[in-house]
Amino acid sequence: MPTEAVVDLRSDTVTRPTAAMWEAMRAAPLGDDVLGDEPTVAALEARIARVLGKEAAVFVPSGTMANQLAIRVACGPGDEIVAHEDSHIIHYETGAPAALSGAMVRTVRGASGLFDADDVRAAIRTRNVHHPVSRMLVAENTQNRGGGTVWAMDRWQRVAAAGREGGLHVHVDGARLFNAFVAAGYAPEAFARHADSLSVCFSKGLGCPVGSALAGTAAFIERARRFRKMFGGGMRQSGLLAAAALHALDHHVERLAQDHANARTLAEGIAGIAGLRPIVEPARTPTNMVFFDVDPSACTGPELCARLEGRGVRMIALDPQRVRAVTHLDVDAAGIARAVDALRQVMRP
């Protein structure tokens, strides 16, 4: 398998289904989800709703669709979303809040992609004919560009309460929500209670080929289902994919701790190489993501990644001097050692 030859740390989306996951997919009973009789999709949706303590959930092709359905249901043209300036919905969803919902985003700032209740309160508009209508708060857990950071429960509670008191729909972009649960140790339901809707992704840390879900009230999800069809996300024998997700929920959640340990080892290795600096202190690497800066006197991020590629190690340059590596279930401790070794060699003066 190519994943054995190459240590691919570009993203946790690059994983291939395990043999056991393929088996679960093969064995799944299938129907037609658009016609409303897909038993495996229905089982997954019920499971996600239960895990997060919500009334309902809907299975969708991507995390982007899950977030954008939530935005489309919560917002209309001229409405405003409060979100951190480093949010995925701003940087990596092709301008969809504006394109699909006519909504604009008012940004807040804060270290590591997190912020405080006061930031939310300050961002909520007063009612005035000149202003957009503040309608929604979107927070990421884990926060991707902040370094895979996790919301502490008390801070999250205060932030979400500030949003709700200001009349905002509180949405969590939980592409790596299970990483957050494993790292923080809080119960999914205890965290999700403070949100009105949450997206979760099965193709990130959980190791599935495709799929995300959006959870919320039954009425909210019913409207999201309609927009899913409108946006072209109605799928047929999607139980194949839902079976992979159900398998991952059973077998790939607790093991995320191993990815987090590997990320920490990687960050420690990087910190020991002259010219490289992790953005988070290695001992405090929160989850499965390692972002680090490359000293411009050595090379640029893209140059570093090109040199690594020649040594069978893949990472992504996000900014001219910033590189990202993400650990996942197809990279073990030996792979991490190879990655650190390759970095040491390409950075040798």
Ligand X SMILES: *Cc1c(COP(=O)(O)O)cnc(C)c1O
Q: Does residue 64 belong to the site contacting ligand X (CB under 6 A)?
A: yes
* Single-letter residue type at 97: P
Instruction: Give the residue from 179, 237, 195 showing the smallest Cα distance to 59.
Output: 237
Residue 150 within binding range of ligand X, rule CB under 6 A: no
The single residue among 3, 62, 157, 300 that binds ligand X, judged by CB under 6 A, is 62
Q: Please tell me whether residue 316 adopts helix, strand or coil conformation.
A: strand
The answer to the question of residue 12 lying near ligand X (CB under 6 A) is no
Distance of alpha carbon 113 from alpha carbon 87, whole angstroms = 8
**With CB under 6 A, what is the number of residues at the site for ligand X?**
12
Residues 6+ apart with CB under 8 A from 253: 178, 181, 182, 206
Query: Distance between CA 243 and CA 104 in Å, rounded?
Result: 36
How far is C-alpha 320 from the chain's CA centre? 23
| Least CB distance to ligand X at residue 90 (A) | 11
Tokens (6 digits) for 87: 């949010």
Identity of the residue, 64 or 285, whose beta carbon is nearer to ligand X in the bound complex: 64
Q: Which residue, among 174, 121, 183, 122, has the nearest Cα to 152 in the 3D structure?
A: 183
Looking at the chain, the number of H-run helices and the number of E-run strands are: 15, 13
* Cross-strand partners of 213: 59, 200
Residue at shortest CB range from ligand X: 63
Exactly one of 15, 40, 101, 144 binds ligand X (CB under 6 A); which one? 144
Q: Which is nearer to ligand X, 173 or 330 (CB)?
A: 173
The number of C-alpha atoms within 13 Å of 336 and in the hemisphere containing its C-beta is: 24
User: Binding of ligand X at residue 149 (CB under 6 A)?
Assistant: no
Rounded to the nearest whole angstrom, what is the least distance from the CB of residue 93 to ligand X in the complex? 7
User: What minimum distance in Å lies between the beta carbon of 8 and ligand X?
Assistant: 16
Name the minimum Å distance from CB 129 to ligand X.
Answer: 34
Closest distance to ligand X from the beta carbon of 142 (Å): 8
Query: Closest CB to ligand X among 79 and 173?
Result: 173
Which of 172, 67, 56, 70 has the alpha carbon at shortest distance from 114? 172
Q: From CA 127, how far away is CA 211, in angstroms rounded?
A: 38
Q: Quick one: 212 or 287, whose CB is closer to ligand X?
A: 212
CB nearer to ligand X: give 144 or 265.
Answer: 144
Q: Which residues of 260-277 are buried (b: 16+ CB within 10 A; e: fewer)?
A: bebbbbbbbbbeebebbe
Backbone angles phi and psi of 245, in degrees to 5: -65, -40
Q: How far apart are CB 127 and ligand X at their closest, in Å? A: 31
Which of 140, 196, 259, 330 lies at the binding interface for ligand X (CB under 6 A)?
A: 140
Q: Which stretch binds ligand X (CB under 6 A): 58-66, 228-236, 248-256, 293-301?
A: 58-66
Q: Annotate each residue in 173-212 with x if it binds ligand X (CB under 6 A) or - if it does not, as one string.
A: x-x-------------------------x--x-------x
Residues found near ligand X in the complex (CB under 6 A)? 62-64, 67, 88, 140, 144, 173, 175, 201, 204, 212
